């Protein structure tokens, strides 16, 4: 049965009619695209675009109508009449009895549309349907894509196009595995990076439809342990804010990238990450917020994010090979290997496991399967007659919620803002909902044109300077729209490869930056290199580990570090071209006693250096080791009693309150209740502890263990 359409003229969305190639001008049969001019009679209303297919058969004229903005597809018309130049038809079982009556002149039909006593002008232009138009436009695309792969050095690419709810093109180019000469196909699995975000937004949208959440619910209502540094943001950040990058936090990607941490552990780090803007002041891309969105869905439903996406999206869309981890992709017979581009050459790199922040970008899929995802969105939340989500909810995700900012870089694409998991923009006057994705060795792009009823997805297996997915995708969009080539690929190639004159200047040493800028020459470290080694921690990030290997300091941060070279004074710099942190400076600081206690690292590029504090050795939490420090120490005329409670030492001075000893390093402890006061237990080679040395602002004092407590 035909579904009863929900027609509302005053709420319909405007769509610009696009003239198409003429078919049979001698008959009214064929595909027509038109618009009802609602705005001409009601200034606050918007026009309605529609498609009509008319057919002349032995039994008479028949036809159907589609209204993309209202989710209506191939609705059967009644009383279709063609008499000379006169054309009329109506939409049965629709309130107000909508009727079209017009006259045809060659490839155009104009007339009046009536519904519920209201009369509006309409016009229709003959042309091929979008699916046919897309197929025609993609003839001859092969050499363009093949040249792009060669020009940029990208190993492999897969692309698919859907139009009018049909798969019209899907193909692979180049190689998914260069070393073994294996081709990329439309079924090859790629890591899709941040294009995963739309799946997370969709899951939350389903929960909104079902009443389990509301977009304006404060997150803290559903996650009582949600904390940001900004107390106001903590209390007021909403479910929608998680998806539109409005938290005030910059990326802080090194709080999760490469980290051996769980989703919950990364979530806890949010409380310690500094914002760079006021809450909702500006758009700042933020992956951990999308991870939090996935975690929110887990908390509300009791199911993992992976289970929710699998059950609510992958299964109904029959995306049987899509998965949530590169570890799963590697087990598939047709998966792409990751490569990195440098100077036009592709080098194989390791897969990057980002399962912990999966809701922000860990999905892997093929373009063939992603066509189902595009069909669902272009269908307004309905696919194959099954509605998965309300159309209004789908449109909310495609609606700009935050201004992204930035002056347009060209004439062809104008940003409109960021929706929920989608960028929203205009490309040469056409409404585009798109998102890119990138993770080690892969860059992807998916674009939807809801008003034109088609979409494009492009996957590649190369990161670095790789604009190919977007440039190829935009080229395909313009071809399908019948627009002249805007030169996206040529412009991208010019941006990636500076001209010979500029290259010559670099070779002659005329660099834009002085590599030694800010460096003080002829300085030495204040300590021997061994003093800089140890573990340093910051609650917002993973630990920094500094080791000494063959008289060279090495730093490890989530496996991203490398060798440290002396820069000046107590500052060292990562000197390793292959390291992610190459060029990052590590500034060590000492306490008043001369001990190295902190290291400052610019771990987030938009903020000043973060402080990582030396962590105590594991043995300072071992009760067996700590027991040797307990006892009574004499500091005439006072006594200090040191006792162990669990794994924590406490001290009591005669006539004063008990104080807690906080491990620092070696056998030194700070006094929690007194800044600048430390206690160092002097331990002999045999493990005995005869003295507790107190370092205070007014001097250094030795307290000696009383004889009766000296045996350990």
- How far is it, in rounded angstroms, from Cα 487 to Cα 506? 27
Helices (H), 71-196: 130-137, 142-152
Residue 3 has pLDDT above 80, yes or no: no
Mean pLDDT value of segment 276-289: 97
CA–CA distances in Å: residue 131 to residues 128, 164, 416, 475: 8, 6, 27, 17
The 10 Å Cβ neighbour count of residue 196 is: 29
> What angle separates helix 142-152 from helix 488-496, to the nearest 10 degrees?
10
Mean pLDDT value of segment 386-412: 93
Kindly state the DSSP code that residue 399 receives in the 8-state scheme. Answer: S
Residue 44: its pLDDT value, please? Answer: 76
For 153, the token pair is 């050095």
Reported as type and span, the H/E element at residue 48 is strand 48-57
Which burial class, exposed, middle or buried, applies to 210 when counting CB atoms under 10 A from its CB (0-12, 13-18, 19+)?
exposed
- How far is it, in rounded angstroms, from Cα 576 to Cα 565? 10
Residue 708: its pLDDT value, please? Answer: 65
* Contacts of 688 by beta carbon, 8 Å cutoff, 6+ apart: 628, 710, 712
Residue 26: its pLDDT value, please? Answer: 59
Residue 256: its pLDDT value, please? Answer: 97
Kindly state the DSSP code that residue 569 receives in the 8-state scheme. Answer: T
* Distance linking the first and last C-alpha atoms of the chain: 89
Helices (H), 270-390: 287-301, 305-309, 326-329, 358-361, 367-378
- How far is it, in rounded angstroms, from Cα 344 to Cα 587? 35
Tell me the CATH architecture of domain 142-496: 3-Layer(aba) Sandwich (3.40)
Query: In b/e form, how buried is each residue of 63-74, taking b as 16+ CB within 10 angstroms?
Result: bbbbbbbbbbbe
Give the model confidence (pLDDT) of 671-704 as tens digits.
Answer: 988 888 999 999 998 989 999 999 988 889 999 9
- How far is it, in rounded angstroms, from Cα 261 to Cα 266? 6
Confidence class for position 594, pLDDT limits 50, 70, 90: confident
Confidence class for position 395, pLDDT limits 50, 70, 90: very high
**E strands, 514-561, in order:** 534-537, 544-549, 552-556
The 10 Å Cβ neighbour count of residue 351 is: 19
Residue 501 has pLDDT above 70, yes or no: no
Mean pLDDT value of segment 650-655: 91
C-alpha angle 497/500/503, rounded to 5°?
Answer: 75
Confidence class for position 17, pLDDT limits 50, 70, 90: very low
Mean pLDDT value of segment 212-226: 98
Reported as type and span, the H/E element at residue 599 is strand 596-601
For 290, the token pair is 């999308």
Sign of CA dihedral 274, 268, 287, 210: negative
Residue 503: its pLDDT value, please? Answer: 46
Tell me the CATH architecture of domain 618-709: Beta Barrel (2.40)
The CATH number corresponding to 529-614 among 2.40.128.50, 3.40.50.300, 1.10.3720.10, 3.30.365.10 equals 2.40.128.50
Reported as type and span, the H/E element at residue 265 is helix 263-269
- How far is it, in rounded angstroms, from Cα 660 to Cα 643? 10
Mean pLDDT value of segment 162-168: 95
**What percent of the chain has pLDDT above 90?**
77
Mean pLDDT value of segment 393-411: 92
CA–CA distances in Å: residue 692 to residues 81, 597, 645, 651, 689: 104, 20, 18, 11, 8
Confidence class for position 499, pLDDT limits 50, 70, 90: low
Residue 13 has pLDDT above 60, yes or no: no
- How far is it, in rounded angstroms, from Cα 390 to Cα 253? 34
Sign of CA dihedral 701, 707, 708, 710: positive
Kindly state the DSSP code that residue 529 receives in the 8-state scheme. Answer: G
Residue 560 has pLDDT above 80, yes or no: yes
Which burial class, exposed, middle or buried, applies to 518 when counting CB atoms under 10 A from its CB (0-12, 13-18, 19+)?
exposed
Confidence class for position 144, pLDDT limits 50, 70, 90: very high
Residue 480, classed as helix, strand or coil, is: helix
Three-state SS for 99-117 is: EEEEEEECCEEEEEEEECC
- How far is it, in rounded angstroms, from Cα 689 to Cα 682? 6
For 614, the token pair is 């030396």
* Contacts of 704 by beta carbon, 8 Å cutoff, 6+ apart: 633, 634, 635, 690, 691
Give the model confidence (pLDDT) of 607-642 as tens digits.
Answer: 999 999 999 888 998 999 999 999 999 988 889 999
What pairing do the DSSP bridges indicate for beta strands 534-537 and 610-614?
antiparallel
Classify 9-128 by CATH class.
mainly beta
For 261, the token pair is 């941490």
Average pLDDT, the chain: 90
- How far is it, in rounded angstroms, from Cα 3 to Cα 528? 79
Residue 94, classed as helix, strand or coil, is: coil
- How far is it, in rounded angstroms, from Cα 132 to Cα 141? 15
> Given the structure tokens 């292959």, which residue do they identify?
578
**Same fold? 142-496, 618-709:** no
Give the model confidence (pLDDT) of 47-94 as tens digits.
Answer: 898 989 899 988 899 999 988 777 677 799 999 999 999 999 999 999
For the chain, which residues make up each domain, given as ranges? Answer: 9-128, 142-496, 529-614, 618-709
Task: Tell whether omega for the bond before 484 is within 30 degrees of 0, i.e. cis.
Answer: no
């Amino acid at each position: 049965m035909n579904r009863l359409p929900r027609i509302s003229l005053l709420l319909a969305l405007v769509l610009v009619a696009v003239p198409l190639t003429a078919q049979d001008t001698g008959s009214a049969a064929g595909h027509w695209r038109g618009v009802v001019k609602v705005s001409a009679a009601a200034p606050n209303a918007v026009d309605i675009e529609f498609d009509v297919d008319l057919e002349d058969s032995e039994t008479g004229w028949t036809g159907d109508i589609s209204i993309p903005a209202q989710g209506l597809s191939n609705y059967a018309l009644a009383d279709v009449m063609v008499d000379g130049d006169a054309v009329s038809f109506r939409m049965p079982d629709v309130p107000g009895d909508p009727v079209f009556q017009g006259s045809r002149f060659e490839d155009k039909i104009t007339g009046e549309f009536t519904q519920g006593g209201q009369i509006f002008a309409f016009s229709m232009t003959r042309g091929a349907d979008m699916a046919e138009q897309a197929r025609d436009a993609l003839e001859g695309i092969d050499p363009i894509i093949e040249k792009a792969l060669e020009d940029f050095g990208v190993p492999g690419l897969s692309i698919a196009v859907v139009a009018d709810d049909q798969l019209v093109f899907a193909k692979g180019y180049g190689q998914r595995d260069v070393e073994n000469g294996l081709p990329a196909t439309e079924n090859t699995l790629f890591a899709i990076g941040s294009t995963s975000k739309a799946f997370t937004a969709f899951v939350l949208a389903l929960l909104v439809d079902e009443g389990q959440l509301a977009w304006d619910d404060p997150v803290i209502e559903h996650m009582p342990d949600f904390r940001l540094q900004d107390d106001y943001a903590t209390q007021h950040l909403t479910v929608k804010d998680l998806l539109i990058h409005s938290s005030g936090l910059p990326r802080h990607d090194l709080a999760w990238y490469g980290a051996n941490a769980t989703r919950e552990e990364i979530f806890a780090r949010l409380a310690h990450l500094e914002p760079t803007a006021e809450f909702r002041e500006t758009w700042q891309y933020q992956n951990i917020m999308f991870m939090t969105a996935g975690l929110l869905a887990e908390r509300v439903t009791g199911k993992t994010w992976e289970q929710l996406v699998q059950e609510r999206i992958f299964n109904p869309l029959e995306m049987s090979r899509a998965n949530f981890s590169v570890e799963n992709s590697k087990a598939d017979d047709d998966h792409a290997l990751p490569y990195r581009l440098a100077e036009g050459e592709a080098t194989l790199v390791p897969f990057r496991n980002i399962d912990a922040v999966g809701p922000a970008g860990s999905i892997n899929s093929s373009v063939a399967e992603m066509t189902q995802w595009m069909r669902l969105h272009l269908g307004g939340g309905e696919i194959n007659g099954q509605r998965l989500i309300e159309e209004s909810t789908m449109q909310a995700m495609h609606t700009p919620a935050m201004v992204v900012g930035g002056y347009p870089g060209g004439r062809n694409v104008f940003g409109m803002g960021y929706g929920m998991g989608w960028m929203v923009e205009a490309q040469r006057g056409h409404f585009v909902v798109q998102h890119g994705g990138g993770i080690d060795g892969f860059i992807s792009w998916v674009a939807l044109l809801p008003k034109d009823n088609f979409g494009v997805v492009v996957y590649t297996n190369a990161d670095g300077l790789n604009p190919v997915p977007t440039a190829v995708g935009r080229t395909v969009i313009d071809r399908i729209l019948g627009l002249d080539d805007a030169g996206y690929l040529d412009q991208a190639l010019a941006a990636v490869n500076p001209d010979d004159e500029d290259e010559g200047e670099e070779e002659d040493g005329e660099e834009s930056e002085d590599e030694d800028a800010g460096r003080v020459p002829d300085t030495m470290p204040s300590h021997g290199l061994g003093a800089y080694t140890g573990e340093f921690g910051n609650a917002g990030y993973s630990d920094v580990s500094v080791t000494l290997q063959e008289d060279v300091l090495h730093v490890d941060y989530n496996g991203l570090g490398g060798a440290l070279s002396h820069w000046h004074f107590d500052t060292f710099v990562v000197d390793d071209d292959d390291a992610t942190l190459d060029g990052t400076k590590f500034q060590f600081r000492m306490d008043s006693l001369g001990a190295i206690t902190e290291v400052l690292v610019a771990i987030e590029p938009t903020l000043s250096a973060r402080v990582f504090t030396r962590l105590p050795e594991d043995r300072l939490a071992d009760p067996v080791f700590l027991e040797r420090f307990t006892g009574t120490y004499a500091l005439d005329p006072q006594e200090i009693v040191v006792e162990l409670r669990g794994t924590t030492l406490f001290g009591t001075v005669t006539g004063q309150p008990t104080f807690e000893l906080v491990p620092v390093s070696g056998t030194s402890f700070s006094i929690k209740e007194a800044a600048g006061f430390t206690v160092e237990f002097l331990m002999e080679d045999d493990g005995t502890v005869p003295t507790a040395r107190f370092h205070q602002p007014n001097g250094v004092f030795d307290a000696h263990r009383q004889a009766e407590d000296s045996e350990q």
